[in-house]
Amino acid sequence: MRPVAGHAARPVRFGSVAAVTRVVCPGSFDPVTNGHLDIVRRASRLFDEVVVAVLVNESKKSLFTLDERLEMLGEATADLPNVSVATFRGLLVNFCVEHDVPAIVKCMRAVSDFDYELQRAQMNGSLTDVDTLFIPTSPEYSYLASSLVKEVAKGGGDVSRLVPPYVLDRLTAAFS
Ligand code: PNS
């Protein structure tokens, strides 16, 4: 871990605490972006197991099929041995309870995310004891959303910095 400049390491005594070892990163991932991957990677350093859970929502129109989204996520997380990819239908907290996942990890891009995410975290917490943990998005991805990536790609804009190469290829194919 990088020390803060000017602060020498001091010995610290850690007590024994019950740690959250498995978390879920939920989303539609239509498609996965570098912003999603930033959060998944950072979560994979903090927790023993990270489950990336893709919502199956037949009533929501998506650009990519479920299989395509799973394939892209599989490729994107192939180098992270403690990350797996799954799907879920219905309530996220039911998925968490069924799979013994005590916490949901969500990203916080900007203040505009806060009200929405807080409300959902509190609703989920009221239904079960599944907790929600927020990881601040890295500044370079704070404006990033799958919907915007699709809009820009559809208009012929350059999204190569925002998604992995194999996602870029699929976006290019989808809009050519
Ligand atoms: O990538 P998205 O579309 O912003 O992800 C949203 C997602 C899948 C995290 C959210 O819609 C969700 O959790 N859906 C499952 C339904 C649910 O549990 N609803 C109750 C929320 S309080």
The whole-model pTM stands at 0.92
DSSP-assigned beta bridge partners for residue 24: 51, 104
Specify the ligand 1 atom closest to the Cα of 26: 9
Active-site residue, 42 included: no
First to last CA, the chain: 45
Tell me what pLDDT residue 6 has. Answer: 65
Q: In testing the pocket of ligand 1, which one of 32, 52, 55 has its CB within 8 Å of the most ligand atoms?
A: 55
Distance CA 25, CA 52 (A): 5
The model's pLDDT over 72-123, given as tens digits with 9 standing for 90+, comes to 999 999 999 999 999 999 999 999 999 999 999 999 999 999 999 999 999 9
Active-site residue, 7 included: no
Residue 53 contacts residue 21 (beta carbons within 8 Å): no
The model's pLDDT over 13-72, given as tens digits with 9 standing for 90+, comes to 666 665 659 999 999 999 999 999 999 999 999 999 999 999 999 899 999 999 999 999
Does residue 85 sit in helix, strand or coil? strand
Q: In testing the pocket of ligand 1, which one of 33, 63, 120, 123 has its CB within 8 Å of the most ligand atoms?
A: 120
Residues 86-121 as b/e (b if ≥16 CB within 10 A, e otherwise) read eebeeebbebbeeeebbbbbbbbbeeebeeebeeeb
Ligand 1 atom 4, closest CA: 27
One-letter amino acid at 61 equals: K
26 CB within 6 A, ligand 1: yes
